[in-house]
Amino acid sequence: MPRHPQAAKSARREFLESLLWAVAVALLIRTFVIAPFKIPSGSMRPTLMEGDRILVSKFIYRFHEPQRGDIIVFRYPEDPKRPFIKRLAGLGGEALEIRDGRLVINGTPLAGHSVLTATAYLNRGGFGEEGRQIEIPPGQLYVLGDNTSFSHDSRFWGFVPRRLLIGRALCIFWPLNRIRLLR
């Protein structure tokens, strides 16, 4: 039985409407909920490797404040068009020092944060000199790469304004052999 021309137009229209809705929903999700990012450098080794693809929650910090140890994605303060990824080490209002390779917060050596306490941070840059206590201004964050020898981070360029925060890294989704949740 031949198809009615009106039914074919209706099916095409329904398909296009469905496609437009799907694109709109996908764009909304990517803009406000979750987004993929590709790791471009080795500054977060061994946690994140070059070429890893991660998912970042863009809404999580609307419900609670960033926590020390979070792996965060933010717009680089010196070039806000570039996204950066680092580990959150210091919060606004704190005094931070790198002493003998360890983080000291408000005069007390950091304890209880596995990666932050297991990593021996090198004293480098104007914001990471040995014996210098850094006062983190309110509304600012101090971030460090897990690969302290090869990370261009807050030790060199200072603080990340809270307003430049994009979100928290949730998981590695590619390559398949590295799929896992990030803590």
Distances (CA, A) of 48 to 87, 115, 159, 172, 182: 11, 13, 22, 8, 9
Rounded Cα gap, residues 171 and 157, in angstroms:
27
Residue among 43, 57, 151, 154 flagged as catalytic: 43
- Tokens linked to 122: 């090198």
Q: How many beta carbons lie within 10 A of that of residue 128, not counting itself?
A: 21
114 counts as catalytic:
no
Q: Give the DSSP letter string of 38-74.
A: E--SSTTTTTS-TT-EEEEESSGGGTS---TT-EEEE
Among 55, 60, 86, 63, CA closest to 173: 55
DSSP state of 92: T
Residue among 57, 58, 86, 154 flagged as catalytic: 86
Rounded Cα gap, residues 135 and 85, in angstroms:
22
Catalytic residue numbers read 43, 86
